[in-house]
Amino acid sequence: MRKPYKPGCHWDVPWVGQCGKEFADNSVYCEQHEGKECCICKKQATHGCDTTLGPLVCGYALCDDVECYIQHVEQHHGSFDIRTKAAQDSVRERNPEMADAWADEWNREKEYLRSEQTT
Which band of pLDDT confidence, cut at 50, 70 and 90, is reported for residue 82? Answer: low
pTM: 0.68
CB atoms within 10 A of CB 71: 15
pLDDT of the residue at 44: 96
Specify whether 59 is located in the same domain as 83: no
- Looking at the 3D structure of the chain, how many domains does it have? 2
Task: Check if the beta carbon of residue 63 is closer than 8 Å to that of residue 39.
Answer: no
Residue bearing the bigger pLDDT, 38 or 119 = 38
Q: Give the separation between CA 57 and CA 21, rounded to whole angstroms.
A: 21
Rounded (5°) CA angle 51-69-67: 165
Considering the domain boundaries, does residue 69 fall inside one?
Answer: no
pLDDT of the residue at 80: 46
Specify whether 37 is located in the same domain as 1: yes
Is pLDDT of 66 > 70?
A: yes
